[in-house]
Structure 1
Amino acid sequence: MIARLIDLRGAVFLLLLACFATIVPMMSLLAEPGSALHLPSYAVSLFGKYLTYALLALSVDLIWGYCGILSLGHGAFFALGGYAMGMHLMREIGDRGVYANPVLPDFMVFLNYDALPWFWLGFDMFWFACAMVLLVPGLLAFVFGWFAFRSRVTGVYFSIITQAMTYALLLAFFRNDMGFGGNNGLTDFKDVLGFDLQAPGTRATLFALSCLALGGGYLICRAVTQSRAGKVLIAVRDAESRARFLGYRVEYYKLFVFVVSAMMAGVAGALYVPQVGIINPSEFQPANSIEAVIWVAVGGRGTLVGAALGAFTVNGAKTLLTGWFPEIWLFFLGALFVAVTLFLPNGILGLLRRRRRAARAEPATTAPAAAE
């Protein structure tokens, strides 16, 4: 069944991902420090962060590329998944914090909390935190999408209200009385499941899990898009009014794919936090959601593999440019988006596909001339 979901492009992508998941940890753990083959732990975490961004890009491409829903609020689902995992990591600290309180995180002791808020209960259990990583973004997407899609909010109006939702969460999480650390967020994590987060082995394991999550996310997206429901989603993208006329409950299909993509974004956020070491309200910034859309546009909308490629390409450029020329990064990002929109409407993958088709057509056009 899985073989039916994978085309040649997907097979190459999964093969490269498997090689990446094997080679990078080996270079970090087995190669001697100082050798040309050794990869430092910070680089492993950096690549792991790129993988979580690629998974976020997949979730955006699923709804935008295949259903035509341009969400500018997926950064909120990413951040909520990150906060769910961050809450578990904070509970894992126990009495090793600055204030040595076995129950309350340091920021709660500093803010004079008397007891742990009710919504923090259960996060000392890893399985509960993993469940919340899926349920919290999924529930928010379900409630938000239920009202939006039943009201037939589409196009730019839907993009605006998703951006408004993200900004509202940003303002809420900035408040100290929300119980999520306010402006500083959650940080100073020690370990996960008893493993030191700073240890090279733990970082390599988190990297491998990120590769596995990205591969699994790709297969889920392919399963959705290749199913009968996926064909309806494409019909909704191309001609929503006709799909309604044929009797399809368009809002249900939209709601389904919106919830699935939100849960994928939550998983990406949960893997992001232990590798970066912090989660704060800045992750809710609308600009982050806009960046995710740019990743998809650069790589190729409606291709899945292109979305992941765009995330790696743009974030790799961001790392280099912010290190060398930090003042020009935002100008570069804006120029990149404009250039892709004008000259590469199908993204990098679309350009490669067009060149491949041109190369195949060239021998056919030159053969008659050679015969003459």
Structure 2
Amino acid sequence: MKTNQINKQEMNRDEICELVATQLSDALTADESRRLNEWIGASEANREEYDRLVEVWNSTPDVSELSQYDSKKAFAMFVERIKKADLKAMAEPDVEQPEIKSISIRRYTINFMRYAAVVAVIACACSYLFYNMGQRNMEQAFAMIKVEAPQGSTTKMTLPDGTEVWLNAGSRIEYSQGFGVNDRRVQLTGEGYFEVHRNESMPFIVKSPSLNVQVLGTKFDFRDYPSDHSAMVSLDEGSVAVGLRSSHDGGYQYRLLPDQRAVLEKQSGNMRIENRATTDRLWTDGTIMLNGQRLADIAVDLERSYGTKILIENRELAQTRFYGVFHRKDQSLSQILAALTATGHIRYAINGNVVRIYR
């Protein structure tokens, strides 16, 4: 509880809502994206609050599209939905909720107007809105479906369009019950491998807190854990278009070819495209590939794969790199640690669910 209070002092409710709304309308700057990601990763309470705001956004008629015609009304709809969600939650017994604060509609409108398109013919805009409101109301009625792979396990699922998705440990995917009616959009947290069913008339779009990916039909791996310093998209077949969530124009600035990987460094906002020598989907069958990774990164993957906590003695040790291939179904965490110990670089001790690595 104390950590949550500190984070709310560092970033108040108005700022959080503003950053989330701007992110989901594809208009965050690199600095704003960094601030939001740091806040999300600061505590589980922050992550839950972020997920709640995303749900509110997704359950509101497309405010980013509506804002092109009436940005004030779009933000009013989003903020009003937040207030209603808070009031409804507070009416439920034994549930502690954050204090409801008055949100300045004017402030949001000014910020959002920087990205809204200027519409000269109001009559055309009104006609467009009336035409689409019935469709939007129908989409709003669809509930969001969430599928999670808990720590220590992976999950395979098939979406309504036939697309197959593997979720790595500690990952979640969200999509509307109306998926495939007018669009094919999913929200990813963590890591997923996608074999997308081809549909040239309806692109498949995956969004994470850092990146957007658009494809027609292809196979690719998408990794964006909130606690990771980087986000990554690796392509096996076909082609994918990759864009930054912080991009002002909301476009897809990069295109990948097979055996290429896009890596975003979250703190700096720098994106690089590189060739890869090995496939990134080996985890889908339980393979753990160590190809020169730092011990710090290996520890994070082992924590997720085996549902444990790993502590490394010092920073120098955390930078040690290892190579090897293991299989989660056939080898326990102790066996993997024993193999790493055989290199002579580390020792380890296990106490319950906590592993300590030292020299």
TM-score class, shorter-chain normalisation, is under 0.3
Normalized per residue, the structure richer in strand is 2
TM-score normalised by structure 2 residue count: 0.23
Q: Which structure exhibits the higher relative contact order, with contacts defined as CA atoms closer than 8 Å and separated by 6 or more residues?
A: 1
TM-score normalised by structure 1 residue count: 0.22
